[in-house]
Amino acid sequence: MRTTTTYQPKSIEAFKEQLLIWAQQFEDVVWLDSNSYQQDYSNYDAILAVDGFTSIQTDYHEAFNKLKEYQSATKDWIFGYLTYDLKNDAEKLTSNNFDGLRFPDLYFFQPKKLFLFKNNSVEIQYLNYVSDEVEADLSEIETTYPPEKSQKVSNDIKIKLRIHKDDYFKKVEAVLNHIRRGDVYEANFCQEFYAENTEINPLETYFKLNEISKPPFASYIKFHDKYVLSASPERYLLKQGKTVVSQPIKGTARRSDNMEEDKTLKINLENDQKERSENIMIVDLVRNDLSRTAIKGSVNVKELCKVYTFKQVHQMISTVISKVEPVTHPIDIIKSTFPMGSMTGAPKISAMEIIEKLEETKRGIYSGAIGYFNPTGDFDFNVVIRSILFNASKKYVSYSVGGAITAKSNPLKEYEECLVKAKAMREVLEN
């Protein structure tokens, strides 16, 4: 049983920061923040889940069935992540690339303590409530003060490239050869930037990354010694009742401080035929994925190639919606659409096989998803992009970026787009 309390802090923004600092005492932490970004289908402005009562951790073998059993048995809020490598459970695929991060393929927990932000109030739900526990925690949170912020979030970090520029061009050319042969017509090829023997302050790093980007699907994860600091602008999949929503991003343009130039960059993206064709290919793939669990005839493209503006970039986003029967299990909806088309390519399985051979790093949680299931089986997950990943025990820091390669791709422009996407993470890590 959960006990519910409503609380109205004097300042929502100050309380958010105090709450996240207070949360660091726990081994299991998931923080999700919309940064007050106005969007359809939003359930909450922000959520904090901490202190695992039960949890599930597994590799990809039978991972979706194990998650289904756990979610069905728990019938409560559960928070966690799905790594990209669950593709090996959804399809007959493998992941053999180097893995410096060593995250479990799947991790979810049932939080004892839950804070749900909506407008100017916070709904607090505690599991197995002990008298005065909420009041004692609120008193502690309200008297938590941020430590003196340093100019640096880390020691001096030397970022290395897993794939150097010339090799990147060769690999993109290899993808283009596959496209010319008809093996695929789009593949999302990614590369890793990393640092070894490095320590960072995860929370301070997250605060700085979030401040630079202010994205609608930001998240901070702490699972024991493993951290995800995410400034994701992309929703993977949401379920509200019978409605399922996917919002793939394909198409990126940089921002400019010059207002006129910025406006031109946005207009150019809106009219860029290559970017539009990338987006439309993935929309077709998403429609096909959603149709596997949808009520016949219910898959609908609500928005096609609409450009949205964020602090760092302009992005081309489409919105695809379907309806499902009440008896359809939420995990089946996720498994039938995973991994998300925006991070794979089309046809999906061929694209995943090709990028597995050409990429140098196991993607892990990068291009996976972070989110939650509520007690009724509704869910909301982001796409893990624009994210810094950190294994504190291994002192290994990583971030990856990628782009969709199509027949019209220019390797140099693809490389430059990767650098635009990597800009915020690099700025934060290299100060």
Residue-range domains of the chain with CATH: 2-430 (3.60.120.10)
Distance separating alpha carbons of residues 215 and 235, to the nearest angstrom: 11
**Above 80 in pLDDT, residue 308?**
yes
Predicted local confidence at residue 223, as pLDDT: 96
Predicted local confidence at residue 41, as pLDDT: 86
Task: Grade residue 430 by pLDDT with cuts at 50, 70 and 90.
Answer: confident
**Above 90 in pLDDT, residue 233?**
yes
Predicted local confidence at residue 149, as pLDDT: 61
Distance separating alpha carbons of residues 32 and 210, to the nearest angstrom: 11
Predicted local confidence at residue 155, as pLDDT: 59
Mean pLDDT of 396-409: 95
Task: Grade residue 340 by pLDDT with cuts at 50, 70 and 90.
Answer: very high
Distance separating alpha carbons of residues 79 and 51, to the nearest angstrom: 11
Give the DSSP letter of residue 147: P
Predicted local confidence at residue 154, as pLDDT: 57
Model pTM? 0.95
Contacts of 47 (CB under 8 A, 6+ apart): 30, 31, 32, 79, 114, 115, 116, 117, 372
Q: Is 142 a catalytic residue?
A: no
* Percent share of the chain, pLDDT over 70: 98
Distance separating alpha carbons of residues 96 and 265, to the nearest angstrom: 39
Give the DSSP letter of residue 154: B
Query: Which structure tokens are listed for 286?
Result: 């998403």
Mean pLDDT of 147-172: 82
Mean pLDDT of 111-119: 97
Give the DSSP letter of residue 309: E
Mean pLDDT of 181-185: 96
Predicted local confidence at residue 147, as pLDDT: 73
Predicted local confidence at residue 150, as pLDDT: 57
Predicted local confidence at residue 56, as pLDDT: 98
Q: Is 250 a catalytic residue?
A: yes
Predicted local confidence at residue 131, as pLDDT: 82
Task: Grade residue 21 by pLDDT with cuts at 50, 70 and 90.
Answer: very high
Predicted local confidence at residue 152, as pLDDT: 58
The chain-wide mean pLDDT, for the chain, equals 95
**Above 80 in pLDDT, residue 153?**
no
Mean pLDDT of 182-211: 96
Q: Which of 186, 234, 278, 414 is catalytic?
A: 234
Q: What end-to-end distance do the CA atoms of the chain give, in Å?
A: 46
Q: Which of 87, 113, 222, 250 is catalytic?
A: 250
Contact (Cβ atoms closer than 8 angstroms) between residue 234 and residue 220? no
* Percent share of the chain, pLDDT over 90: 90
Tell me: the pLDDT tens digits for 260-289? 999 999 999 999 998 999 899 999 999 999
Query: Which structure tokens are listed for 160?
Result: 């290395």
Mean pLDDT of 223-239: 97
**Of residues 152 and 424, more confidently modeled:** 424
Mean pLDDT of 405-420: 93
**160-161 and 249-254 as β-strands: parallel, antiparallel, unpaired?**
unpaired
Predicted local confidence at residue 156, as pLDDT: 75
